[in-house]
Structure 1
Amino acid sequence: MKMFASTLLLLAALPGAPAFAQAACQPGTYAAPDGDFVVLAKLPSIPAPGLRYLFRDGRRGATSDPDAPLACDAGQVNVKGAAWQPVAFRETPASFDSVGTKMTGMLIEPPGADPTRPLVVMVHGSERSSPIGGIYGYAMAAQRISVFVYDKRGTGGSDGEYTQNFELLAADAAHALEKAREMAAGRFGRAGFFGGSQGGWVAPLAATLTKADYVTVGFGLVASPIEEDREQMVSEVRAVGLGKDAEALVNRLSQATAGLLLSDFDTGYEALDAVRREMADQPWAAKIEGEYSGAIARMPNEELKRIGRARFDNLELIWDYDAVAALRKLDTPLLWVLAGEDREAPIETTRGALLGLAREGKPFDVYLFPRTDHGMFEFTTAADGSRRITRITDGYLKLLGDWIKGSASGKYGRAERLTLR
Structure 2
Amino acid sequence: MKILLSVLLTSSLLPGVTFFAQDATASPGLPKSTLCETGVFRKDKTTFVALTKTDKGFSYTFNDGIVGNMQDAGTILKCEKNAVLIEGKGHWPKVAIAEFNTRFVSNGVMLAGRLMVPPDATKNTPLVVYAHGSESTGWIDRARDPYQMVVRGVSVFIYDKRGTGLSSGEYTQNFPQLADDLVAASHEAKRLAEGQFGRFGLIGLSQGGWIVPLAAARAKAEFLGIGYGLVVDITEQDAAQVTKELRDRGYDDDVIAKASKVTNITAKIAKSRIKEGLEELAGVQNQFGKEAWFSGIKGGYSGVLVSMSVDDLRHHGVPQFDKLNIDWSINPMQVLSNVDAPQLWVFADEDRQAPGALTLERLTSLRKQGRDITIYRFPNTDHGMREYEEAKDGVRKHTRVTPGFYDLMADWAKGQRGEKYAKAYRE
Q: TM-score, normalised by structure 1?
A: 0.89
* Structure 1 counterpart SS, 2:403: coil
Match of 1:143 among 152, 156, 162: 152
* Structure 2 counterpart SS, 1:173: helix
Aligned to 2:14: none
Aligned to 2:103: 95
Q: Distance in 2 between matches of 1:70 and 1:261?
A: 47
Structure 1, unmatched stretches of 5+, are 1-19
Deviation at 1:204, TM superposition (A): 1.3
Where in structure 2 are the equivalents of 1:8-407 lying within 5 Å?
Answer: 25-46=36-57, 51-79=58-86, 81-134=89-142, 135-407=144-416
CA displacement, residues 333-384 of structure 1 (integer Å, 9 cap, x when unaligned): 1111111111111111111111221222211111111111111111111121
Q: TM-score, normalised by structure 2?
A: 0.88
Deviation at 1:178, TM superposition (A): 1.1
Deviation at 1:321, TM superposition (A): 2.2
* Conserved 8 A contact 2:56-2:71: no
* Structure 2 counterpart SS, 1:209: helix
Q: Distance in 1 between matches of 2:388 and 2:121?
A: 40
* Conserved 8 A contact 2:105-2:184: yes
Matched AA of 2:39: G
* Conserved 8 A contact 1:155-1:162: yes
Deviation at 1:82, TM superposition (A): 4.5
* Structure 1 counterpart SS, 2:225: strand
* Conserved 8 A contact 1:30-1:84: yes
Deviation at 1:91, TM superposition (A): 0.9
Q: Distance in 2 between matches of 1:28 and 1:314?
A: 34
Deviation at 1:27, TM superposition (A): 3.0
Deviation at 1:43, TM superposition (A): 1.4
Q: CA RMSD in A?
A: 1.8
Deviation at 1:243, TM superposition (A): 1.4
* Structure 2 counterpart SS, 1:38: strand
Deviation at 1:281, TM superposition (A): 4.7
Deviation at 1:291, TM superposition (A): 1.1
Q: Distance in 2 between matches of 1:148 and 1:309?
A: 35
Aligned to 1:10: none
Q: 1:281 to 1:74 in 2, by over 3 A?
A: closer
* Structure 1 counterpart SS, 2:238: helix
Moved more, 282-291 or 335-344: 282-291
* Structure 2 counterpart SS, 1:233: helix
Deviation at 1:28, TM superposition (A): 2.1
Structure 2, unmatched stretches of 5+, are 1-30
Deviation at 1:72, TM superposition (A): 4.1
Moved more, 75-84 or 284-293: 75-84
* Conserved 8 A contact 1:98-1:171: yes
CA displacement, residues 33-79 of structure 1 (integer Å, 9 cap, x when unaligned): 23322101221134xxxx21101111000234454344444432344
* Conserved 8 A contact 1:261-1:313: no
Aligned to 2:15: none
Moved more, 72-81 or 256-265: 72-81
Matched AA of 2:99: E
Q: Distance in 1 between matches of 2:258 and 2:288?
A: 8
* Conserved 8 A contact 1:264-1:309: no
